[in-house]
Amino acid sequence: MFGAPEFHVRVVDQKIRQLDVLRGAPCGATWEAAKRMIGMPVEEALIRIGLDTQIFCSADPAHWDPIYQRSPVHIAGNIHHSALKRVLDD
């Protein structure tokens, strides 16, 4: 249930009609962000999933990673974007 995000998606007319979270972040950000993608055009959802995950993420954005030059919040957003893109590409 918890770990790297994994989704099941149903797209109709290039809009997300259903986005089920199969696995997500322990803080709950994955589920909250996924709810907001319903009805959104696919291209917009690919941008918004990362942003909305950052909004709901409980990681401390002040903890800057010196290797990746990003905060954990930014990394979480990128991981969620990649997970949604992966399922949409299948």
What are 49-80's pLDDT values in tens digits?
Answer: 999 999 998 877 777 777 778 788 888 999 99
Say what the pTM is.
Answer: 0.87
Q: Output 67 or 26, whichever has higher pLDDT.
A: 26
Total number of domains in the chain: 1
Residues 4, 80 contacting (CB under 8 angstroms): no
Residue 59 lies in a domain: yes
Residue 28 lies in a domain: yes
Residue 65 lies in a domain: yes
Q: Domain span at residue 52? A: 6-89
Residue 1 lies in a domain: no
- Ramachandran class of 65: left when φ > 0, alpha when ψ lies in -120 to 50, beta otherwise: beta
